[in-house]
Amino acid sequence: MNKSVLILSASPRNGGNSDTLCDEFLRGAREAGHDAEKIFLRDHKIGYCTGCGACGSTHKCVQSDDMEKILDKMVKADVIVMATPVYFYTMDAQMKTLIDRTVPRYTEISDKEFYFIVTAADPDQSNLTRTVDGLRGFTEECLPDSNEKGVIYATGVWQSGEILNHSAMKQAYSMGKNV
């Protein structure tokens, strides 16, 4: 069965380590026949949530930016991949901003399969727990019937390109292929 796969790359670096893993996941998913798309968040204007509360009754944000289109794609997708570099032991600002801006329609992001990709300079995978816990807080506690399917931990990568010889490359491709 073909699935709609949406990959959200929060890397601020085009071709950064987490973004490169997104490309491998995308390649695997497309080769398996799925309809897959990657959104590179850096290329989109997404303002911070202002906490105004207007979306509570309208289910639409008062801000006019790219988030409305991205949120619509999240609602329609079968599979969502959330990829972030780890900065100071948590997800980066781009990913957190995206999560915060799902408020108008977050209850519609239901019955989805989720994959997480996290990359860090720190070689100790256990130090990425807080980052993955933050992503899980969003999916498990806020999104009805979400289903975590896999996590890719790529540790010990700092400079762009260091991921190329990392075992996470094969893992990302394989996960994409087996969506």
Amino acid sitting at position 117: I
Structural domains present in the chain: 26-177 (3.40.50.360)
Q: Assess contact for 83 and 24: CB atoms under 8 A.
A: no
The tens digit of pLDDT for each residue in 41-99 reads: 999 999 999 999 999 999 999 999 999 999 999 999 999 999 999 999 999 999 999 99
pLDDT digits (tens, 9 = 90+) for 134-177: 999 999 999 999 999 999 999 999 999 999 999 999 999 999 99
pTM value > 0.95: yes
Cα torsion angle, 129, 134, 137, 138, sign: negative
- Distance of alpha carbon 176 from alpha carbon 179, whole angstroms: 5
